[in-house]
Structure 1
Amino acid sequence: MDELRTPRLLLRRWRDEDREPFARMNADPEVMEHFVAPLTRAESDALAGAIEAGFARDGFGLWVVDVVETGTFAGFTGLARPSFDAAFTPAVEVGWRLAREAWGRGYATEAARAAAGYGFGAAGLEEIVSFTAVANARSRAVMERLGMTHDPRDDFDHPLVPEGHRLRRHVLYRLRCADRT
């Protein structure tokens, strides 16, 4: 699927011109507060390439989010397979990252709802997960607005976060197709 639309947003495949605003977003310490570190330009470009490879492999991925009214790059939202082993993998995650200028407008929830709808519809998924560092209240609120449920017994130490790091402990939320309202 190349694109999804909501009333205010266009979720679309990546273009070369997206790499610059993507790199700015990934270098922003506030945006990356709940990640081990902001990304360099090279790391950001590599992530964009990995995202595109995900579309080729899975038929879905993390779409660029544009604000329809302005055509502005707002970040990304979509579906991805976690690249690490954990008790809940293999799985498909709904994830998002928005530029600071796009915060507080409900874009993450709107875009994630569209991505999950695609996952349960065209992609035929039975369950979608989402996870974040325990302290990431904003993302946890999005997960809850999506109707995802959290069982503390599912929480885990993220294997790609160094031991002893303040962000190592993560919460896991789940949404099952059968439980959607």
Structure 2
Amino acid sequence: MTALQTERLVLRHWHAADRLPFAEMNADPRVMEFMPATLSRPESDLLLDSIEKHIDTHGFGLFAAELRRDRSFIGFIGLAIPSFQASFTPGVEVGWRLSPIHWGKGLATEGAREVIRYAFEGLGLEAVVSFTVPANARSRRVMEKL
């Protein structure tokens, strides 16, 4: 999978060292407020395994996101094929999940814009969707900016 860069971010393939901060993020109730539940370390590892399998299968997926200035892991931003039925499936979704310390800085928007550019220009996709629950105001604001 091609690595992408923005002014402040590197969106890249996952490393073994990402597993711990990924698990810490997935265990945070603030991060998982609009998901079914927080994840234990084994559950988080299984999720990362499935992300990597998606990348291997489709050639694209959710990128590990890090800050360019210090290479610190901040979450993920990328593309996924939803595994459920909805009015917009089958299709490709752009999504993100960041550690709370990085919320409100425009990083999800910056990264998602680059991922969408890559989806159309690099992968030749014809459409990309994004969705959330109505109560998730932060993600809705990101979507409105895209």
- Normalised by the size of structure 2, how large is the TM-score? 0.98
- Residue 121 in 1 paired to residue 121 in 2? yes
CA shift digits 1:107-136 (9 cap, x unpaired): 000000011111011111111001111100
CA shift digits 1:42-63 (9 cap, x unpaired): 1110110111111111111000
Structure 2: which amino acid aligns with 1:56?
Answer: D
Partner of 1:160: none
Structure 2: which amino acid aligns with 1:116?
Answer: I
Superposition misfits of 4+ residues, deviation over 4 angstroms: none
Partner of 1:140: 140
Structure with a larger share of its residues in strand: 1
Q: Cα offset for 1:2? A: 2.9
Within-5 A mapping of 1:35-114: 35-114=35-114
CA shift digits 1:148-175 (9 cap, x unpaired): xxxxxxxxxxxxxxxxxxxxxxxxxxxx
Tell me how far apart the structure 2 counterparts of residues 76 and 87 of structure 1 sit (CA, whole Å).
Answer: 25
Partner of 2:4: 4
Tell me how far apart the structure 2 counterparts of residues 103 and 87 of structure 1 sit (CA, whole Å).
Answer: 29
Tell me how far apart the structure 1 counterparts of residues 88 and 9 of structure 2 sit (CA, whole Å).
Answer: 31
Structure 2: which amino acid aligns with 1:118?
Answer: Y
Structure 2: which amino acid aligns with 1:68?
Answer: R
**Secondary structure in 2 aligned to 1:90?**
coil
Tell me how far apart the structure 2 counterparts of residues 80 and 111 of structure 1 sit (CA, whole Å).
Answer: 15
**Secondary structure in 1 aligned to 2:82?**
coil
CA shift digits 1:85-127 (9 cap, x unpaired): 1222100000000001111111000000011111011111111
Structure with a larger share of its residues in helix: 2
In our comparison, the structure showing a higher alpha carbon Rg is 1
Tell me how far apart the structure 2 counterparts of residues 92 and 110 of structure 1 sit (CA, whole Å).
Answer: 19
RMSD of aligned Cα (Å): 0.7
Q: Cα offset for 1:78? A: 0.2
Partner of 2:20: 20
Structure 2: which amino acid aligns with 1:38?
Answer: T
| Structure 2 unpaired stretches of 5+ | none
- Flag the structure with more relative contact order, 1 or 2, with Cα contacts below 8 A and sequence separation at least 6: 2
- Normalised by the size of structure 1, how large is the TM-score? 0.79
